[in-house]
Amino acid sequence: MTTGKVIIISAPSGCGKSTIINALMNEGGINMQFSVSATNRAPRGSEQDGVDYHFLSDHDFREAIAGDAFLEYEEVYPGRFYGTLKSEIDRIASAGSNVVLDIDVNGGLRVKQALGEEALSIFIEPPTIETLRQRLESRGTDSIESIDARVDRARYEIDQAPRYDARVVNDDLNSAVEQVRAIIVQFLSK
Ligand code: 5GP
C-alpha cells in the first residue's frame, strides 16, 4: 500500500497526543506526513475539516465503508466511527513520505500486525488516570458523559500498551516530544 514506513501513534483521548504530533510536524526534519482520518463525530473546538479530520455525516461514512475507502476503521465510541482513508495513504506515499497514523489501539495493533517491521507503534500514556480526567475536564470541550466514556476507554487502551513497540509517558510535553522524536528517528534510520 505504501512505499514508505508507517508510524502508528495511539493514546487515550486527552493525553496530549495531537499536541505532540503537531509539535513534531511543525519542527520538521523528519520525512513524514499526517494521515487525516475520517470520522462521523462533530468538530470540536477549533478543529477544521480536512485538517484535523475529514468530518463526514453518518450517511457519508457508511457510503465510504461500502465503497471500500478505508484501510481500517473502528467504532471507537458507541456510534462514533473513525477510519484511515486509503486515499490519504496513497497521497502520502506518492509524495515519497512516511505516514503518521493517529489511531486507536484496536486499529493500531491491527495495522502493526499487518505491516510488521515496516511499521513502528508508539503508545503515549498519561501519568495517571486521574491526570487524564483532569485534562479532559479542563479542555472544556466534552460533556460529563463523554468524559466518563473517554476515561473508561482509556483504561482499556492503557491495558493494551505493553503490546506496542514503544511507550512514552506524557508528564512533561517537551520531554515527551523529544522522546517520541528520538524513537521515530531511530526507527527510520534502520
Ligand atoms: P478524538 O475523538 O479524541 O479525536 O479521537 C478518538 C480516538 O479515535 C483516538 O483514540 C484516535 O486515535 C482514534 N482515531 C482517530 N482516527 C482514527 C482512525 O482513522 N482509525 C482508528 N482506528 N482510530 C482513529
Q: Whose CA is nearest to atom 12 of ligand 1?
A: 103
Closest CA to 53 of 93, 12, 19, 81: 81
Check pLDDT > 60 for residue 2.
Answer: no
Q: What sign results for the dihedral spanned by CA atoms 153, 156, 160, 166?
A: positive
Q: What is the per-residue pLDDT across 98-157, written as a single tens digit (0 to 9) for each?
A: 999 999 999 999 999 999 999 999 999 999 999 999 999 998 888 999 899 999 999 999
User: Closest ligand 1 atom, CA of 41?
Assistant: 2
* pLDDT score, position 1: 37
The pTM score is 0.90
User: Closest ligand 1 atom, CA of 17?
Assistant: 12
* pLDDT score, position 62: 98
The answer for 28, left when phi > 0, alpha when psi is -120 to 50, beta otherwise, is left
Site to probe by mutation for ligand 1, drawn from 9, 46, 102, 121 as the one with most ligand atoms within 8 Å of Cβ, is 102
Q: What is the per-residue pLDDT across 47-88, written as a single tens digit (0 to 9) for each?
A: 999 999 999 999 999 999 999 999 999 998 899 999 999 999
Helix (H, G, I), strand (E, B) or coil at 71: strand
User: Closest ligand 1 atom, CA of 85?
Assistant: 19
Written as one string, the DSSP assignment of 67-101 is TT-EEEEEEEETTEEEEEEHHHHHHHHHTT-EEEE
* pLDDT score, position 14: 83
Alpha carbon of residue 82 to chain centroid: 10
Q: Whose CA is nearest to atom 5 of ligand 1?
A: 13
Give the pocket of ligand 1 (CB within 6 Å): 10, 13, 37, 41, 72, 74, 76, 82-84, 102-104, 107
Q: Mean of the pLDDT values across residues 8-12?
A: 95
Helix (H, G, I), strand (E, B) or coil at 129: helix
Check pLDDT > 80 for residue 3.
Answer: no
Q: What's the angle, vertex CA 30, arms to CA 72 and CA 84, rounded to 5?
A: 10
H helical segments located in the chain = 17-27, 58-66, 86-94, 105-115, 129-139, 144-160, 173-188
* pLDDT score, position 77: 87
Q: Which triple of cell numbers denotes residue 178?
A: 523529544
